[in-house]
Structure 1
């Protein structure tokens, strides 16, 4: 695989912004070192027609102000932290309240809004993109000088491999993910309610009306949250069920079955008309399935398309939301000197050729 780089005429904090194109025989994608954002992902359908299957903007300036997090690296801590407070080693840290009374996706200036150092490297499978960032002690009120690296690899098997690494000089909190919105019919094709989804999880972390976990581990069996077999997103999304009401649709953490820390399948998505399939593998214990419930037609995306409610879906691999406040949840504390190392794979393929 080869990678091309182009510089765009836009500097932030004195740093150059680049767009990298990763491509193989079937697929091409663009990534920028601003926020590590996946700008586009162009793949063929079963008829050989290529389309862009992730939501985003044509105007780069929109990525600086958006609250959608389209395609970005999320950190230091993905998802929500209740009351925007954490306790690390007995020290309380008050974080930014950027989601009501709570903290969301790393704060006001999370990893989605910083310029990453970038370089193209080689391994046995060809070139890949390496992004690096030093999050200084006290940035967004988090403790410790944190060195973070994210690698993007596109394989000949149409796998987008994302490797996450981190190391800090103090005990801190770290929970990285990617926030791409997928629409397997094409980003401009309307809602994703006819997409079929399977999530390899028997339980969710139930959430309150602010989308903060209550601490309850709830079985999905017999509920609208059950995606243990392939099911259309639209089949149950409007049911009168407390979790759907609280989240305005699906916006919850599914607990991946039989978690071992090894890479395993978390979810798959199928769109019958195009024959596109997306499989998600991860070393993380959870995945946030979000159905774009807060998109509205004021969000003008690529090609001037007005993205409406539920035009994209996210599968954000993660540690559980608000983990520090719930015993028995996943451990998101990275100890000083230890390495944070996780992998997520988005594999694209065609069925029903």
Structure 2
């Protein structure tokens, strides 16, 4: 196992890309700009080594990155309606960057920050530790927050992402990683035939602006029931109002049913690649790139609808107004700590 580093200058900033290599022919590349996972290279069942995430061909395109490819999202992942929230009867007003709403931390969110980066090795892993200080009232959020995110790869093809943060005031915090996976490799196919298995206790109903209504819907008997596994194609072709409302597919928050199994398994039958996701988060946003722009120049191909699938493990900002969702508030006495592990193997 080893780590390499590539240094580049983009718009006057020094960006560093670290590539983590294990002994099982897997490699993961991470930029300190945005904490972006720019590549994950793994073999398929035939030994073909390919990239299984969406990333730009030209690194300079990450400076804009409207699709949030591979980035750390914060302070809060998801949409906050009317770009405002209230804590203890105090109203806070955020930057609106999705119509009248606030999306993924706003235009100056963590996906556009230059993080401090320190590579490291242990006896069984290689990793990169990223750190960032977010000052009080940045983008409208209260409190000074210190964030650490570690990416760590082992020889069992497990990429572990650990998030830790401390705040000096009560503030919302809901971090995630916005990587788009495509297990076919090098964007050779859409993700329509990716099979997903997930035991979920319900999913959040959305309104026309993709804002949760507050209702948690029962997935049984719908295209949102992944308990026995189903291809993404089912949601793309579905006439269910919740599939239609997000542009034919999925862009929904699912609450997990915890039972000791992997929270999510994704299988691509042609390559034989399997991605398992385990986390201590209470749920995830499943996004099937229904609204991804066409024609972005990617490493291995071009972007388009259904080019990737995001598995955004997190708590949801709907908690700011609805008790059906786990709280996203962090206090000086209750720091933030979550872990998500992505494991990619073949069968």
- Fold equivalence (TM over 0.5): yes
In the other structure, the counterpart of 2:158 is 159
Residues in 1 aligned to 2:32 and 2:213: alpha-carbon distance in whole angstroms: 36
Residues in 2 aligned to 1:335 and 1:120: alpha-carbon distance in whole angstroms: 29
Give the aligned length. 345
RMSD of the TM alignment (CA)?
A: 1.5
Residues in 2 aligned to 1:102 and 1:198: alpha-carbon distance in whole angstroms: 32
In the other structure, the counterpart of 2:121 is 122
Deviation at 1:338, TM superposition (A): 2.6
CA contact (8 A) 2:21 2:126 kept: no
In the other structure, the counterpart of 2:331 is 335
Deviation at 1:9, TM superposition (A): 2.4
Q: 3-state SS of the aligned residue for 1:193?
A: coil
After superposition, what is the alpha-carbon deviation per residue over 1:47-101, rounded to whole angstroms, capped at 9, x for unaligned?
A: 0111000001021221111210000000000111111111122211111111122
After superposition, what is the alpha-carbon deviation per residue over 1:93-150, rounded to whole angstroms, capped at 9, x for unaligned?
A: 1111111221111011110000000101233424311000000111111011100000
In the other structure, the counterpart of 1:314 is 310
Deviation at 1:230, TM superposition (A): 1.4
| Aligned counterpart in structure 2 of residue 278 of structure 1, from 241, 258, 275 | 275
Residues in 2 aligned to 1:349 and 1:229: alpha-carbon distance in whole angstroms: 20
Deviation at 1:258, TM superposition (A): 3.4
In the other structure, the counterpart of 2:232 is 233
Q: Does 1:150 align with 2:175?
A: no
My pick for the range that moved more, 109-118 or 202-211, is 202-211
Residues in 2 aligned to 1:91 and 1:63: alpha-carbon distance in whole angstroms: 35
| Aligned counterpart in structure 1 of residue 19 of structure 2, from 8, 18, 21 | 21
Deviation at 1:10, TM superposition (A): 2.9
Q: How does 1:204-243 map to 2 (within 5 A)?
A: 204-243=203-242
Inter-CA distance 149–264: structure 2 relative to 1 (3 Å threshold): farther
Residues in 2 aligned to 1:145 and 1:38: alpha-carbon distance in whole angstroms: 26
In the other structure, the counterpart of 1:301 is 298
Deviation at 1:320, TM superposition (A): 2.2
Q: 3-state SS of the aligned residue for 1:265?
A: coil
In the other structure, the counterpart of 1:5 is 5
Q: How does 1:1-353 map to 2 (within 5 A)?
A: 1-10=1-10, 16-25=14-23, 26-248=25-247, 249-258=249-258, 265-303=262-300, 305-351=301-347
Q: Which runs of 5+ in 2 are unaligned?
A: none
Deviation at 1:337, TM superposition (A): 4.1
Inter-CA distance 164–316: structure 2 relative to 1 (3 Å threshold): same
My pick for the range that moved more, 79-88 or 38-47, is 79-88
CA contact (8 A) 2:57 2:297 kept: no
Residues in 1 aligned to 2:197 and 2:317: alpha-carbon distance in whole angstroms: 21
Deviation at 1:158, TM superposition (A): 0.1
Q: 3-state SS of the aligned residue for 1:237?
A: helix
Deviation at 1:205, TM superposition (A): 1.2
